[in-house]
Structure 1
Amino acid sequence: MVEISIPGNYGYAIAVSLGVIPVLGFIHGVLVGSCRKAAGVPYPHAYASIEQCKANPKAHQFNCAQRAHGNFLENAPQTMLSILVAGVKYPQAAAGLGAAWVVFRTLYMLGYIYSDKPNGNGRYNGMLCWFAQAGLWGLSAFGVAGDLM
């Protein structure tokens, strides 16, 4: 039988993983929707065409918002899980890295959507999110491996 004891401050990890990160996902959705409306890109089209982007800068902005949201959706589940797993052994570190990830993902999102840099290069404002994410993977692996030994 395996026993898992949850530390008293595990709530911080839960708050970031199951509270703050979903709120950021909601904000992404709102921004995509407002950019879609401003660009005049109808459903079910996921992106504006190259021609639409050349004719309307708002269409390009919509594509950047859509891609930022897609990238968030590709990374949020594994990050949320890593926070929860790492938080069993390292709740404050997991919550701290998770909060840093949220801050950097917010910079990534805002830079991608609103920067004047070409080719969506404003997203590089938040690229440190990858270090926070890697730290969470490491804490998760180290915490689990430590318990197995």
Structure 2
Amino acid sequence: MTVIANVPISSDYGYVILVAGAFCFNLYTTGVSVGFQRRKHNIPYPDMGCGPYANKLELKDWTEFNNYQRAHYNYIESFGIVMTSLLVGGVFYPRLQAALGAAHLVGRILYTYGYQKSGPQSRYKGALLFYPGFLGMVGVLFYSGAKLAIGF
């Protein structure tokens, strides 16, 4: 066991690191899927789905591209909060935080797949799993901070 600032790091923290790595890989593959859509619909950078190239698409193609783009953006928007909660809260409760992170990741995968394939109305199945995992991780983060700061 390693001790950093009087906080022991359990070997169970390895589970947290594995889940964090899975998140990174999944975020990367989500971005790659947007790249495939760019090529499929001939939308070069810097057009982000609302520029001159995207405006030339038929509605069906424009919607498909933007569903992929938006699913990826949504992932990016929450990634910092998720990683901070997972990695910092996992120092104190590694197995719990890894389990909550894994639940969030599975929900995120379902959410992204639904969004990409059928639009925003199809993301809710993933959200049913992803939000409890997310809120749990944030709760563990705050509890861990309170425990460290005031001996809670």
TM superposition score normalised by structure 1: 0.88
Match of 2:68 in 1: 65
In structure 1, C-alpha distance between the alignment counterparts of 2:74 and 2:56, rounded to whole Å: 22
- Please point out which of 96, 99, 122 is paired with 2:99: 96
| Partners of 2:67 and 2:116 in 1: CA distance | 5
Shift of residue 10 of structure 1?
0.6
Root-mean-square deviation (CA), in Å? Answer: 1.9
Q: How many residues align?
A: 144
Gaps of 5+ in 2: none
What secondary structure sits across from 1:8 in the alignment? coil
Q: What is the alpha-carbon distance in structure 2 between the residues aligned to residue 92 and residue 113 of structure 1?
A: 31
Give the conservation status (yes or no) of the 8 Å contact 1:79–1:136.
Answer: yes
Give 1:35's match in structure 2, choosing from 37, 46, 55: 37
Residues 106 and 52 of structure 1: CA distance in aligned 2, closer, same or farther (over 3 Å): farther
The amino acid of 1:77's aligned partner reads G
2:27 corresponds, among 25, 30, 44, to 25
Distance 1:52 1:106, change over 3 A: farther
Is the partner of 1:127 in helix, strand or coil? helix
Equivalence for 1:84: 87
2:26 is aligned with what amino acid? L
Could you give the per-residue CA deviations for residues 27-47 of structure 1, whole angstroms, max 9, x where no partner exists? 111110111222222221001
Q: TM-score, normalised by structure 2?
A: 0.86
Confirm or deny: 8 A CA contact 1:13 1:92 kept in the other structure: yes
1:44 corresponds to: 46
Listed as ranges, the gaps of 5+ residues in structure 1 are none
- Identity between Structure 1 and Structure 2 (%): 35
Distance 2:76 2:43 in 1: 21
The 1-side partners of 2:82 and 2:102 are apart by 11
Q: Is the 8 A contact 1:86 1:139 kept in 2?
A: yes
Counterpart CA distance in 2 for 1:52 and 1:125 is 32
Distance 2:45 2:6 in 1: 49
